[in-house]
Structure 1
């Protein structure tokens, strides 16, 4: 009879320990859920900021390029160079404290050789230069509205090349966007902008259309190849790796 209270006390202590463990697990689960939600909010906030900068930057660049041609400019090479001439602004980012700490803590064991890195940056740089030149030709011969709509076909090429190079799956939203972009871009080739005062001949209009579509396809290919290089060659997506990819191109 004397052992019964002891056994009862042991059972109670084990029950209390189980309750404490369950409470601790529930608390940890709530904390992890809160952290995940915070990360989700932060991710969406960053995506919103990046999207705003991207759309505003491309819109301003397109309008300034059209203004250059309308005011008498005729150098396609100058219009090509100015599309990427702002890259030195990124060089001071190399001296940020956060960059230095991430650089020292993300050193790969087997980094790629200098020859492989040079070939990668040179090839992607040539692809970028060709795309910028084709965009300049397209903007020279096309109205801004037509040019902007055709440039939107880059999303279709992004999805296509990402499917082959980055294992991106097609969703109903992506397929719907591809169909709408393809139809709108195809219809534009048969329509000149009659509202403008400077009418472009049909042959130059077609050249501008083809160059813009080719530039959009080349840029979509470059983005997919860049992601593939991060995965297969660099094997990291650190702050330094992204800066090197932009500046060396």
Structure 2
């Protein structure tokens, strides 16, 4: 398989998994708590455990390297500093997932959707400031629509509080 084809396939797989994770994750978490789920640790662990799926393309990549480089292929191509840094970021993400599960269990849908919309706005703003991300009219339109939707939901949310919630 050609390197460009492999990169394209991995990019496509990554995009599909990202799309599924970001769209289905909050819905499944919300449904879990609406239908009686009580364990915050289970919910936050499930959000974080998706990283195991990345082992599939990494294994394919390693097997491909073993075929082309014979016995010279290393199992880990990262430096120890990068591995430690990635582990630290993983711990921060795990903590974030726990707080996300706590908020999903306690907050009404209207409030949670406003928080998620503000997260999108901050991500877009920081992408513009830190990475110098250029916005096209299409991306600005998408961001505005994704923020207006939760605002409309919040304006009409009177009976969306979970049992035992705030």
TM-score class, shorter-chain normalisation, is 0.5 to 0.7
Give the aligned partner of residue 44 of structure 2.
80
2 CA distance for matches of 1:174 and 1:134?
29
The correspondence of residues 165-244 of structure 1 with structure 2, limited to 5 A, is: 165-194=130-159, 199-200=161-162, 204=166
1:83 CA drift (Å)? 0.8
Preserved contact between residue 120 and residue 147 of structure 2 (Cα < 8 Å): no
The correspondence of residues 5-84 of structure 1 with structure 2, limited to 5 A, is: 51-84=15-48
2 CA distance for matches of 1:122 and 1:47?
23
Compute the TM-score of the two structures, normalised by the length of structure 1: 0.44
1:124 CA drift (Å)? 1.6
Compute the TM-score of the two structures, normalised by the length of structure 2: 0.60
Partner-residue secondary structure (3-state), 2:49: coil
Total equivalences in the alignment: 153
Question: CA, structure 1 residues 59+115, in 2 after alignment: closer, same or farther (shift >3 Å)?
Answer: closer
Q: 1:133 aligns with which of 90, 98, 123?
A: 98
Question: CA, structure 1 residues 167+59, in 2 after alignment: closer, same or farther (shift >3 Å)?
Answer: closer
Where does the alignment leave 5 or more consecutive residues of structure 1 unmatched? Answer: 1-38, 205-249
Give the aligned partner of residue 207 of structure 1.
none
Question: CA, structure 1 residues 135+99, in 2 after alignment: closer, same or farther (shift >3 Å)?
Answer: farther
2 CA distance for matches of 1:89 and 1:176?
32
Partner-residue secondary structure (3-state), 2:48: coil
Question: CA, structure 1 residues 87+174, in 2 after alignment: closer, same or farther (shift >3 Å)?
Answer: closer
1:90 CA drift (Å)? 3.7
1:82 CA drift (Å)? 1.2
